[in-house]
Structure 1
Amino acid sequence: MSTRTDAGARARRYTIEGQSVAAPPLEPGLYVTATPIGNLGDVTLRALATLAAADGILCEDTRVTRRLTAHFGIATPLAAYHEHNAARARPGILARLEAGEAIALVSDAGTPLISDPGFKLVREAREAGIAVTAVPGASAAVAAVSIAGLPSDRFLFAGFLPARGGERRRALERLMAVEASIVLYEAPQRIENLLTMLDEVAPDRELAVTRELTKRFEEVLTGVPAEVGARLEARDGVKGEVTVVIAPPAQTGTDEPDRAAVDEALRRALGRQSTGKAAAEVARAFGLNRRDVYARALELKDAEEE
């Protein structure tokens, strides 16, 4: 498709350190555009040119995106597109796209559709034959994996866990069986609850709690759940956006250990700590799956109580 030549396709401008730059016209279509997760200096030149040249920018919160566009002198009109108005707004957006407009989709921070609304718009645009283009950039999940110091060859992004206790625990238990590092987003007011639950479900699992990535008070706390939890508990609350990276399960050996030796080690461990911690200690010592050892620990406890 040729570049637009109508009045709406005229070159627009943005500024970088006081220098005005012309943004070339865009082809019609939807541009899924990543924005900084904190430090405005992380925005890409392509993202700036896209936002400046677009006919409109769809954003979760216009107030948040306006700080970015104002900083770089971008005058493109902003419109809200979020989970509460998406169904109502989507037909009008698709009509604009079908009419030949170029529209950018952004989230409050990072890459759109990564734990943000937008996938239905992308899917319906594609179904309508509208071009959808990625303008990649920052992502809190990838940034956290890159500095966590944990295995990064395979990782699963799981977004936010359910808020309710029972559902939350079941979801976490399922994730702990995945043979990959797990990346979670978490609200600051719930991070201590998550670490407490992890200490019960996978007490020996290494993790990294990253906070305020790319911002002035960026922080990475590493250790097992109890260690990191104790450090956070000593504070007067936790502030800022939190991304958690949890190490994958330990690899088990091929040789089966003596069952009697495992049972004896479990009995000793159960005599001085909780079932979960005892199972974690023995699983680590023998190179076994913690869930299997935990189940055996429960069997031993039940037998002793009979």
Structure 2
Amino acid sequence: MIILAATPIGNLGDASARLVEALGTATVIAAEDTRVTVHLLRALGIDNRPQLISLHDHNERGKAAELVELARDTNLLVLSDAGMPTVSDPGFHLVEAAINAGVVVSALPGPSAVLTALAVSGLPTDRFTFEGFLPRKPGDRRGALRELAGERRTMVFFESPNRLAASLADVASTLGADRRVVVCRELTKFYEEVKRGTATELAEWAAGGVKGEIVVIVAGAELRVVDLDTGVAEVLALVAGGIRLKDAASDVAAATGLGKRDLYEAALKLKPSTPRPAPSANPQ
């Protein structure tokens, strides 16, 4: 079978007894970075020397079929550098291929940066969504955030420390300056830090420079009660800012509970028409 094994996200003391046993008896390990796996084995005092196969974002699709066939005859332990494989880490395509080929997939549960950050955030945990990394390019990032403007569940993101300040500034400008945000840095490590505040406050804090592994938790949108006229005015304001009418109606509907069709049709009647270009003075 294929065994997905969660590894510590920082503190080695979080390695489970099942993980230590699996590492001590494994004959083959597919690892995101084999050097990290060698370090983990040494740090946990495990003298087993299994065959190590590199499995990362750039080669996973090409290796999946080969590893699935290997797993028919032996247990294949799959590790990412930290946390659970497949969660913003390699492993998904391998699991998909294994399921399609009828090979059993199991997991050794353990540390998760997503759940750890969510638990300590102080934001609602009953319903949440994991969004992975935001896009690198500012325009794409703001576009992704606009799509989440009406999301009412707590949102969890990973982010690079080098892009954290810019991303938080985009959260403030797109989702609201007062939107509650929590930044978790270096979870379970000696320098663990949890910062809570508004999007604007944390953007200003991050502008001074931040290091380490980052998880960002953003509060979901609160449903605002407004009448249709107010909702239409908000749609038109978004359209004036360059957003398509259909998308603007969808965003306002998600944030207010008003009907998307009602908003679209009412705004369409009030939306200024685009003037046609004047005919050429010298037609050919």
TM-score per shorter chain, which class?
0.7 to 0.9
Other-structure match for 2:192? 218
- 1:35 partnered with 2:30: no
Aligned to 2:138: 165
Deviation at 1:183, TM superposition (A): 0.4
1:257 CA drift (Å): 6.3
Among 85, 88, 98, the residue aligned to 2:62? 88
The answer to whether structure 1 residue 105 and structure 2 residue 105 are counterparts is no
Residue number in structure 1 paired with 2:217: 245
Of 68, 76, 82, the residue aligned with 2:40 is: 68
Choose the corresponding residue for 1:124, options 79, 97, 105: 97
Structure 2 CA distance for aligned equivalents of residues 85 and 225 of structure 1: 37
Q: Is the 8 A contact 2:118 2:125 kept in 1?
A: yes
* 1:154 equivalent among 127, 134, 138: 127
SS at structure 1 position matched to 2:38: helix
Q: Take 1:41 and 1:128, find their aligned partners in 2: how far apart are those partners? A: 36
Give, in angstroms, the shift of residue 90 of structure 1: 2.3
**Percent identical:** 38
Deviates more, 1:138-147 or 1:58-67: 58-67
CA, structure 1 residues 124+257, in 2 after alignment: closer, same or farther (shift >3 Å)?
closer
- Match in the other structure for 1:145: 118
Number of matched pairs? 238
Aligned residue identity for 1:58: A
Question: TM-score with structure 2 length normalisation?
Answer: 0.77
Cα shift at 1:259: 6.6
Work out whether residues 10 and 188 of structure 2, in 8 Å CA contact, stay in contact via their aligned partners in 1. Answer: yes
Structure 1 stretches of 4+ moved >3 Å = 256-260, 288-292
1:243-279 per-position Cα deviation (integer Å, ceiling 9, x unaligned): 00000111334xx56979xx9xx9xxxxxxxx9xxxx
State how far apart, in whole Å, the 1-side matches of 2:227 and 2:68 are.
61
Q: Confirm whether residue 59 of structure 1 aligns to residue 28 of structure 2.
A: no
Q: Which residue of 2 aligns with 1:283?
A: none
Distance, in Å, in 2 between the alignment partners of 1:134 and 1:289 is: 38
1:78 CA drift (Å): 2.1
TM-score, length-normalised on structure 1?
Answer: 0.72
Instruction: Work out whether 1:197 is the aligned partner of 2:170.
Output: yes
Match of residue 45, structure 1, among 13, 17, 26: 17
Structure 1 counterpart of 2:125, one-letter code? S
1:130 CA drift (Å): 1.3
Per-residue CA deviations over 1:75-108 (Å, capped at 9, x if unaligned) read 233221001122332232122112x111111110
1:227 aligns with 2:204: no
Please report how far the alpha carbon of residue 232 of structure 1 lies from its aligned counterpart in structure 2 after TM superposition: 2.1
Structure 1 unmatched ranges of 5 or more: 1-28, 267-274, 276-287, 296-301
